[in-house]
Amino acid sequence: MTRPAAERAGSDDHPARRVPGRWRATLGELTLTHLPDAGLHMIPSKVYPATGEHDWRDEREHRTGDGLLTMGCGALLVERGSTRLLIDAGHGRIPADEVPEFADRFEHVGFLPGELAELGVDPADVDFVAFTHLHPDHTGWARPDATDDGRGLFPSARWLVGRGEWAEAGPGADPALAGGADRVVAVDDGAEVVPGVRAWALPGHTPGHTGWVLDTGDGREVVAFGDALHSPAQVRHLDWEVLFDADRSAAERSRRRLVERLGGEGTLGFGMHFAGQQLGRVEHGEWSPHETDAFG
């Protein structure tokens, strides 16, 4: 059951501190809809272990009243014509009283199925699930064990996974996905496996971490970059290492390539964990949110 939009919004009014709700944006031929699944609140220095309180003095807009960093967790529904592609699949079904070890506060568990129902979208009509990487907070509802029938929430979908990610998934990869190996399409860097959707290798967070580049059909592009960046604050601090990065040097190189691309004309980015400012671009070295339509 989906909670009211006002409840999903959280107690902090500033978008940079707000758990993201459902929103929609129409860009050229694409309709993008964010489907929230969970909200994470973490101590900033836990996410970025080389930082201290002094590093966050100028980043107050990204912290809640009790000093935590808000992060979203959900999925992005991409619709072009009759094709439906989902980027990542939320955190999935976990006990309501369980808090993942990496979170200091956790809320809004299990919204994704209800969000799809409110949109009138049958999960069986999702054609593809494109994973940025295989950590459980991105694979949740696609896992075969996410539903009682053992098929996952998206039984008809093919799984698009960066070739390096599927071949070399390191510590933290979701072992439950092994049961769906016959559904995997291993995608090479730069390959277009769905019209208008290309893979872009952004390794470091995981061995085969992949951004998905969406061609809007009107000269623009949207880069869904997964965990290459975890917060808008990191755009200003590309040297900030993230606790969860498997190869921190490679992750920083990927961040720098990503931010350079996001500063180009006609390029937008989608950051799954970017609290209430998920869609935007980089201007003058800072994250500049793009307007979206909230609804629901």
pLDDT of the chain, 296 residues: tens digit per residue: 333 333 333 445 667 777 888 999 999 999 999 999 988 888 999 999 999 989 998 888 888 888 899 889 999 999 999 999 999 999 888 665 565 666 677 776 678 999 999 999 999 999 999 999 999 899 999 998 899 998 899 999 999 999 999 887 655 567 777 777 889 999 999 999 899 999 999 999 999 999 999 999 999 999 999 999 999 999 999 999 999 999 999 999 999 999 999 999 999 999 999 988 999 999 999 999 999 998 75
Task: Report the pLDDT value the prediction gives residue 296, as an integer from 0 to 100.
Answer: 58
Q: Is 295 inside any structural domain? A: no
At residue 264, the pLDDT reads: 97
Say if 145 falls within a structural domain. Answer: yes
**DSSP designation for 63:** B
**CATH number of the domain encompassing residue 262:** 3.60.15.10
171/177 Cα distance (integer angstroms): 14
Q: What pLDDT score was predicted for residue 173?
A: 65
Closest to 224 measured CA to CA, from 80, 76, 91, 31: 76
pLDDT in tens, 94-116: 665 565 666 677 776 678 999 99
Residues 6+ apart with CB under 8 A from 2: 111, 114, 115, 117, 118, 296
Residue 88 lies in a domain: yes
Domain limits for position 191: 5-281
Number of domains the chain contains = 1
Within a domain: 44: yes
Which amino acid is located at 167 in the chain? A
| Closest to 233 measured CA to CA, from 59, 64, 51, 16 | 59
Output the pLDDT for position 95. Answer: 60
| pTM score, whole prediction | 0.91
- How far apart are alpha carbons 222 and 211 in whole angstroms? 10
Q: Residues 225, 234: contact at Cβ < 8 Å? A: no
Tell me whether residue 288 is in a domain: no
290 within domain boundaries: no
Residue 252 lies in a domain: yes
Residue 262 within any structural domain of the chain: yes
